[in-house]
């Protein structure tokens, strides 16, 4: 099954109706489809504190998780979110509840998790959340794995820290110079310490149109 068809079937915004991420992912993920991989997605349903909705909101669906379980027939799927999705049960799904505002929260949440083959960040889209997650989880990615960050063009006003380097600019600096440039020297140093483990970094624009804003980053681990 084509991944875009699955996204549209389950109502995921990753499909043809909105972002079209699945057009890219279907190509990238083909080598993993029939393997026993471990896949993590952060951010499991539209809405939440980044949109002014309480983290304890009622949740009733998991469109992208249903899509991944159908697409990756042998994969263990790990879902992480600030809201509660523990009601969803599947023998290949594990839910972790976590507020990504502090790195230690992420460390505590995934400390016992196995190494991942693919990590996809579709959480709050706040720059410091994205960067906290990458610095914590990229080291837990297997060699040959992929780390993907979605929705780079939008940051939630409720969470975004004024003056902090946006994640899109951070990865564009690496693409352009092979050096991570950041408003916080310590954060820049931590990102640059990971350069030897990055074999490729690609930033794609909205709907893959070069004149539009950066939308998704794909980082491949050496």
Q: Which of 26, 125, 128, 129 is catalytic?
A: 125
Q: What is the spatial distance between Cα 48 and Cα 209, in angstroms, rounded to a whole number?
A: 29
DSSP β-ladder status, 76-81 and 93-97: parallel
The answer to whether 206 touches 153, Cβ cutoff 8 Å, is yes
Written as six digits, the tokens of 150 are 């979605």
26 carries an active-site annotation: no
Provide DSSP, 117-163: EEEEE-S---HHHHHHHHHHHGGGEEEEEEEEE--TT---TTTPPTT
- Say which residue the tokens 């780390």 belong to: 147
The answer to whether 195 touches 180, Cβ cutoff 8 Å, is yes
Task: Name the residues annotated as catalytic.
Answer: 125
């Amino acid at each position: 099954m084509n991944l875009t068809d699955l996204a549209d079937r389950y109502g995921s915004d990753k499909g043809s109706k909105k972002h079209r991420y699945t057009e890219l992912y279907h190509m990238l993920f083909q080598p993993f489809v029939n393997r026993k991989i471990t896949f993590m997605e952060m951010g499991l349903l539209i809405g939440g504190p980044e949109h002014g909705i309480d983290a304890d909101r009622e949740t009733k669906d998991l469109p992208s998780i249903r899509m991944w379980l159908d697409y990756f027939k042998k994969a263990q799927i790990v879902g992480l979110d600030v809201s509660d999705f523990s009601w969803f049960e599947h023998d290949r799904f594990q839910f972790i509840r976590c507020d990504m505002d502090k790195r230690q929260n992420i460390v505590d949440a995934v400390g016992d998790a196995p190494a991942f083959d693919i990590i996809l960040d579709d959480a709050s889209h706040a720059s410091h959340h994205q960067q906290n997650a990458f610095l914590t989880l990229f080291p837990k990615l297997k060699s040959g794995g992929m780390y993907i960050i979605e929705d780079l063009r939008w940051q939630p006003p409720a969470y975004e820290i004024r003056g902090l380097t946006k994640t899109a600019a951070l990865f564009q600096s690496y693409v352009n110079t092979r050096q991570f440039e950041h408003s916080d020297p310590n954060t820049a140093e931590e990102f640059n310490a990971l350069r030897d483990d990055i074999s490729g970094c690609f930033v794609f624009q909205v709907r893959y149109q070069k004149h539009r804003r950066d939308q998704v980053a794909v980082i491949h681990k050496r």
